[in-house]
Amino acid sequence: MKAVKVGLLGLGTVGGGTATVLKRNAKEIARRAGRGIEIDFIATLEPERAAELGVENIRLTKDAYEVVNDPDIDIVVELIGGYSPAKELVMQALENGKHVVTANKALIAIHGDEIFAKAQEKGLVVAFEPAVAGGIPIIKALREGLSANSVEWLAGIINGTGNFILTEMRDKGRDFDDVLAEAQALGYAEADPTFDVEGIDAAHKLSILSSIAFGIPLQFDKTYTEGISKITQEDVAYAEELGYRIKHLGVAKRTDKGIEQRVHPTLIPERRLIANVDGVMNAVLVKGDAVGATLYYGAGAGDEATASAVIADIVDVTRALTTDPENRVPHLAFQPDALSDTPVVGMDDIETAYYLRMSAKNEAGVLAEVTRVLGQQGISIEAFIQKEPRQGETDVDIILLTHVVNEGNMNSALEQIAALDVINGEATRIRVESLS
């Protein structure tokens, strides 16, 4: 069978890794795919990169539309990122009858429903394994490996930058701003780190995982998103004292009210495997009704790690070239006409436990006033710590762990607590998940 010809859009970190791995492992990949796979055309604004990667004999252009409109290209691999012109290029590729592989989580999270509809209309495949958790095959696991299960919930560390920051804060007692500066110097965080540290990147990925897990349309706009920039070294230390680790977690859960989709700092019991995923590594924990809990761990970014997922998708598409469209694995795991209209619930309707830290006057009866307010909202306390004042200060830290409570009730309680004369400002609130 003739070799499949690939058009590559972008020759940056992931594009370069894809070209390198595909060249190095060409024979092994061909054995798996049943035919050769060749990069035939590359769009890049830095053509000199091709010589550095040893792929200088491949056709090059600075105009990505030349690649998607080339009649010889079978599969377009979009690795330029962002919303535009990525969306226009992908839609043009599909219009031209070409299959697509993309690592672009923002594109899939925001425009995936439209893109998949066009692919369905044209009888084509859009593969996006590298869009979530880099080299970890979590999309394939959810879409195929766990297809017998009704997924109950999933929770993931799906942004390496945030995980690196929280790990350094815990292991070395460093402050957030200090570690963020190092993450930027190491290339883990962008000059503008908002997408990483405020949870937007993780929310893109979580909305994709949730859609596949529960068979609902992509709904990034309904994903609650909270970052880690307000986490202090004190919070990290207090969590450890209580037997927990703080992780920036994406959580999707099936409940009687609907589907929860939320990204936020989370206390996890330190004995859980996912609580011990450190540095820039990623992990996703999935609970299915039949299989129980399964954990997927590995490199969530990087040139060859992500290239591993890109090429796996190219191999899958190559295998599907001779398959009737009706017999292919659906993009979002469920048949397009079988997606559910189950609602994504608002945060006021979720139920979880909480870690609370508040600065209070060092007076008798302070804890009694706080517990009175919590009790009025039906909130019971599981554990608490009251610290001695720091040297030169008169205020004390009070740390509480609550039992599971409704978020709306907790918000009401926190408003009342902030208004107490004995409390200095708003309490720090971090949600707690047992993941069991």
Residues with catalytic roles: 205
Q: Are 158 and 202 in contact (CB under 8 A)?
A: yes
Beta bridge partners of 224: 262
Q: Is the dihedral of CA 247, 209, 315, 188 positive or negative?
A: negative
- In what helix (H) or strand (E) does residue 233 lie, and over which residues does it extend? helix 233-241
Taking the CA atoms of the chain, what radius of gyration do you get in angstroms? Answer: 24
CA distance to 112, 151, 250, 350, per residue, from 217 (Å): 9, 16, 18, 20
* Residue 435 phi, psi dihedral angles, 5° rounding: 55, 50
Q: Is the dihedral of CA 263, 129, 49, 26 positive or negative?
A: positive
Q: Which amino acid is at 170?
A: R
User: Tokens standing for 4?
Assistant: 């499949």
Q: Is the dihedral of CA 177, 182, 185, 189 positive or negative?
A: negative
Beta bridge partners of 292: 288
How far does CA 178 lie from the centroid of its chain?
A: 24
DSSP per-residue string spanning 149-207? S-EEEEEEE--HHHHHHHHHHHHH---HHHHHHHHHHTTSS-SS-HHHHTSHHHHHHHH
DSSP per-residue string spanning 402-424? E-SEEHHHHHHHHHHHHTSTTB-
